[in-house]
Amino acid sequence: MEELTFEGQMKSNGLFARTISVDHLNGLRDDIDALRKDGLFDPEFYDDNLPWFDFRVPDDLPNASTIVIVAKPKPMLSVTFRWNGRAIPLFVPPAYADGKDVEKEVLSALDRISQPNKYRFVPVKLPLKALAARSGLAQYGRNNIAYIPTFGSFHRLTAFFSDMPCKEDQWQDMGMLPGCDSCNACQISCPTGAIPADRMLLRGDRCLTWHNEKGSSVPFPQWVGAEAHNALVGCMRCQRVCPYNKNVMSWMEAREEFSEEEAARLLDASAAGAMSEDMAVKLRRVGLSAELFPRNLEVLLRVRE
Ligand code: B12
């Protein structure tokens, strides 16, 4: 029987993977620098989100030759809040929960597949969507999100430097999903005008996600309307209407329920940041942090009153 490739072995573990050579680190940096030089980033947004990228081989793995990029399919989560005698289901988009578990799962698969204990894998501080697109693992949607076959945008990306030899350097031009040429569903559905008609790069400063991932003491800007809010964190509008997500949109895992008393505690601004450990654990299980409360929950419950 023919031996499975690295990619094939990862796939048989439910993971989608590609490899590129570390020789492309500068190319990856240049992609972003070019957009910055063209003035396409809001300066506050840039400073808040992008300066932490590190386009060098890590000091603790100086002989790294490969970057492995991996996507793990993940569902949306539904979280039920008991409020005013009703059970209210609210949502957390894919990719927020289980970050550490995904990293562990990927590392253990990599170790098994590449010969146990032979090579090292060190997490990258790099732009993951760009890595996925440049390796051919994903294609960009018009909404600037990375899509993989079958699972669309329902996945979590991770990447590692490794001293494993780069048997196949899959660096290539970035691709956009072919259907996006004749579709602007995401652009029309974006509640805050973050998806421009004339360019692929998102207006991060306009994206609801940037605002609702901030600590709760930061209020939403005036221009964010009450009807814009639709998830406990992040936003599902551009992914929900996307034809490429048609088959995964109903992939939802019900996880965690909060009683009236717990919901009241989350809505109590004076308790924010001082949640009990059991509540923090419950929140973490669904990819949420106490710092997002009460702001994000308040706006969602208010529209249901
Ligand atoms: C900063 C950040 C944000 C910011 C800014 C997003 C952005 N577009 O930059 C905010 C807070 C707004 C955000 C929002 C979200 N994020 Co975010 N975010 C990140 C972070 C930390 C860096 C992203 C980044 O590299 N930005 C820099 C820009 C320059 O990169 P880029 O968007 O890939 O830009 C390239 C393309 O535009 C391309 N390009 C430009 N022109 C053209 C033209 C064509 C034709 C083509 C093909 C390409 C192309 O070139 C650019 C440079 O390489 C990553 C984690 C990480 N380490 O990568 C997560 C990450 C990208 N986010 C993620 C997620 C889940 C989201 C949300 C979906 C969350 C939600 N709402 O559910 C939204 C999506 C919003 C959207 N429509 O894009 C996931 C990826 C999900 C996915 N499948 O793509 C990541 C990888 C986190 C993770 N580990 O899961 N995010």
The per-residue pLDDT for range 119-162, each reduced to its tens digit, is 999 999 999 999 999 999 999 999 999 999 999 999 999 999 99
Q: Residue 201 Cα, ligand 1 centroid: separation in angstroms?
A: 9
Residue 245 Cβ < 6 Å to ligand 1: no
Residue 254, judged by CB atoms within 10 A of its CB (0-12, 13-18, 19+), counts as: exposed
Give tens-digit pLDDT for 36-59. 999 999 999 999 888 899 999 999
pTM value is 0.96
Residue 274, judged by CB atoms within 10 A of its CB (0-12, 13-18, 19+), counts as: exposed
Please tell me the predicted confidence (pLDDT) of residue 274.
62
Output the tens digit of pLDDT for each of the chain's 305 residues: 567 899 999 999 999 999 999 999 999 999 999 999 999 999 999 998 888 999 999 999 999 999 999 999 999 999 999 999 999 999 999 999 999 999 999 999 999 999 888 999 999 999 999 999 999 999 999 999 999 999 999 999 999 999 999 999 999 999 999 999 999 999 999 999 999 999 989 999 999 999 999 999 999 999 999 999 999 999 999 999 999 999 999 999 999 999 999 999 999 877 655 677 888 899 999 999 999 999 999 999 877 66
Question: Which residue's CA lies nearest to atom 68 of ligand 1?
Answer: 145
Please tell me the predicted confidence (pLDDT) of residue 2.
65
Q: Which atom of ligand 1 approaches the CA of 202 most closely? A: 8
| Contact (Cβ atoms closer than 8 angstroms) between residue 139 and residue 175 | yes
Q: Which atom of ligand 1 approaches the CA of 156 most closely? A: 90
Question: Which residue's CA lies nearest to atom 65 of ligand 1?
Answer: 95
As a whole number of angstroms, the distance between CA 165 and CA 110 comes to: 13
Residue 130 Cβ < 6 Å to ligand 1: yes
